[in-house]
Amino acid sequence: MYYSRRQIVRDILVSKPFTSLKELEEKFPNVSSMTLRRDIEFCERHGDVIKVRGGARSMKFIVHTEEESFTRRSSENRQKKQKLAKAAARLIETGRSLYVDSGTTAMELTNYIPEIRLSITTSGANVALSLIKHEKIMVNLVGGLLNRDSISLSGPSSTEYIEKINIDVAFISPSGFSLESGFTSGNFSESELKSAVVAKAHKNVILLTSDKIGKSLPFTFCKLEDVDVIITDAPLPADISDKIKANNIQVIIAE
């Protein structure tokens, strides 16, 4: 009975992104909360879930991504990304502590960062390697699980690292944006990291290519009111522009 219940608990936990302890308590009314917590911990030790406050998150959904491979995406909209990168680089001031996101737009930004004294933290392994060519830049790479598609690191250790540092300006590139869903990502673990960065940074700069507008990926990492500057390659739709003005957000159309 013990083995059978634990197997059922595991099947429930891995079947969707998040399962609350309350759900398990309702499923097993004759089992104590403490026992169910031990079941969650058992599944965590076997790599099936990550225990979080109020329940557990399935590793199957955390490591899965709906985004395309980095190599393919890096060749798409290259000119747009270069424009955004150039505009973003103009916002960089000497002596600042920056966060540069992972992804193809972030890689473009590394090509335009000026030769000035900076401290830059990134979750992109390839971004870090590109940044070390700048002798005056101190490069910090967060730890965590490496996503082969985005070549980025994320997970509990990376978010813990972000909580311990200071960030003047964060440059973040979403995978999608809509007024309903906000800024979104296709990977839960990376979305959690972006949320931590947004919460910590004094200024959040979003690098948004126009093809991402109207797209909603599974995980929201921040809302429109959480950002300070949006850099994009074309005028925004009227409804989005109205909302941006209402939130006093600066918009830069990259040329």
CA atoms within 13 A of residue 22's CA, in its CB half-sphere = 2
Looking at 130-139, 167-176, 191-200, which range is the least confident one? 130-139
What is the rounded distance in angstroms from the CA atom of residue 15 to the CA atom of residue 147? 21
Q: For all residues of the chain together, what is the average pLDDT? A: 88
Extract the tokens encoding 25. 């308590």
Q: Where is 153: in which H helix or E strand? A: strand 152-154
Whole-structure pTM value: 0.72
Q: Which residues of 190-229 are buried (b: 16+ CB within 10 A; e: fewer)?
A: bbbbbbbbbbbbebbbbbbbeebbeebbbbbbbebebbbb
Q: What is the pLDDT of residue 68?
A: 46
pLDDT digits (tens, 9 = 90+) for 10-51: 999 988 888 999 999 999 999 999 999 999 988 888 778 888
Question: 93: which residues sit within 8 A by CB, 6+ positions away?
Answer: 116
